[in-house]
Amino acid sequence: MTALTGTLVGPGVDFRLDEQLADLQRRAHEFADRELVPNAARWDREASFPRSAIDAAAREGFLRMTIPTEYGGLAASNVANCILLEEINRGCASTGVTVSVHNSLFSSPVAKHGTPEQKAEYLPKMATGEWLGAYCLSEAGAGSDAAALRCAARRDGDDWILDGAKLWITSGSVADCFVVFARTNEHRTRGISAFLVEKGYAGCSVGKKEVKLGLRGSPTTEILLENCRVPNKNMLGEEGNGFKIALDTLDGGRLGIAAQSLGIMRACLEAATKFACEHDAVGSQQRFQWKIADIATALDAARLLTWRAAHLRDIGENCTMQSAMAKSFASRMCNQAARDAVEICGAAGIGGGADVERLMRDARITEIYEGATDIQRLVVARGVMA
């Protein structure tokens, strides 16, 4: 495999994409038009997992982004990952979050913190899409306050025994392996460790599936761990370092959700512009123009924040605050864009399978998962005040 190292910024500042990134963007755009746009409304209506799209994404190499080349990956930059996710989410946000979680929340922490044995075991299967990955942090009593998690891991010889219920797990029923965060001692944050748990392990099962407002093609489920025996060799990173791995992983994951917001915003802009042009022969109604101008401006601003944070992560700088800024701003602008797009389309935008109605429902979660907007504000405020 050749590494996909495309970057944004050469000597000085240059926001044009280099050849590799432009090629990735074009391929992802064509993929979305071919595989996603024609099917997204049906996957939403039927709440069905877009398996064919995920298989097609795997064939394109889109599930190998964050995996090192020696394990069959593309070692793609965070900027490349954001460009890919914007294009995919423009076509289908359910497919978008599946790809994002697989790349950013599973393969990325395994590549960064895994032992050579763990990488050799899991990353090649993740690269080809033979297996899908997911991330189990949240619990009923530990959503925004992630360190409050109670899922317990106790040592038993060469194994750990995990007990607890994980909630709101994206891809829960379709994933083959999970990064699970569990408590190995009572210290609030340093008592948390990370484990790689295969869906086939005895005691690991899928619980209730959520019926959701949006992203209905992406299955969100409970993951139940009952007396689940996990070999010690499957601990990811050091014992007690799990919370830092969780938050560092989310710094990258939030870029994926910022990029998802950009993709949904793009779809809103395209739908609203099409409607405005078709329903106003001279394209001169200010009530359309102002909203379209605002969506386009917010989209560009959010993209610059997202790419800036991704670039910082690529060069190994801390991007916690910048990633939170990007996620918070992009997701709020995405929701505003969806409301505006529905308003522009009027009665045609609120029913009958209108794209903007689905986009408005899909947009809502971008402000909730991978850290709600108020958590992003908390992270930004802490960064500013530190």
And the tokens for 33? 């038009």
Nearer to ligand CAA, 126 or 161 (CB): 126
And the tokens for 30? 């064509």
Q: Which of 245, 112, 107, 108 is nearest to 189 (CA)?
A: 245
Reply yes or no on whether 226 is catalytic.
no
Rounded to a whole number of angstroms, the minimum distance from the CB of residue 237 to ligand CAA is 11
- Selecting among 86, 87, 139, 370, the annotated active-site residue is 370
Q: Which of 184, 365, 351 is nearest to 264 (CA)?
A: 365
Nearest residue by C-beta to ligand CAA? 371
Residue 53 CA from chain centroid, whole number: 16
Nearer to ligand CAA, 71 or 195 (CB): 195
And the tokens for 301? 């601003």
Rounded to a whole number of angstroms, the minimum distance from the CB of residue 159 to ligand CAA is 26
Binding site for ligand CAA (CB under 6 A): 97, 101, 105, 135, 137-138, 144-147, 168, 170, 189-190, 243-244, 247-248, 250-251, 320, 369-371, 375, 378-379
Q: Determine which helix (DSSP H) or strand (DSSP E) holds 88, and give its type and residue range.
A: helix 78-91
Rounded to a whole number of angstroms, the minimum distance from the CB of residue 347 to ligand CAA is 33
Nearer to ligand CAA, 17 or 97 (CB): 97
Rounded to a whole number of angstroms, the minimum distance from the CB of residue 68 to ligand CAA is 21
Can you give the length of the chain in residues?
A: 386
Nearer to ligand CAA, 62 or 135 (CB): 135
Q: What is the C-alpha separation between 143 and 147, in angstroms, rounded? A: 9
Nearer to ligand CAA, 9 or 378 (CB): 378
Rounded to a whole number of angstroms, the minimum distance from the CB of residue 250 to ligand CAA is 5
Q: Pairing state of beta strands 192-198 and 152-156?
A: unpaired
What is the DSSP secondary structure assignment for residue 171, as one 8-state letter? T
**221 within 8 A of 49, measured Cβ to Cβ:** no
And the tokens for 273? 């512009």
Catalytically annotated residues: 370
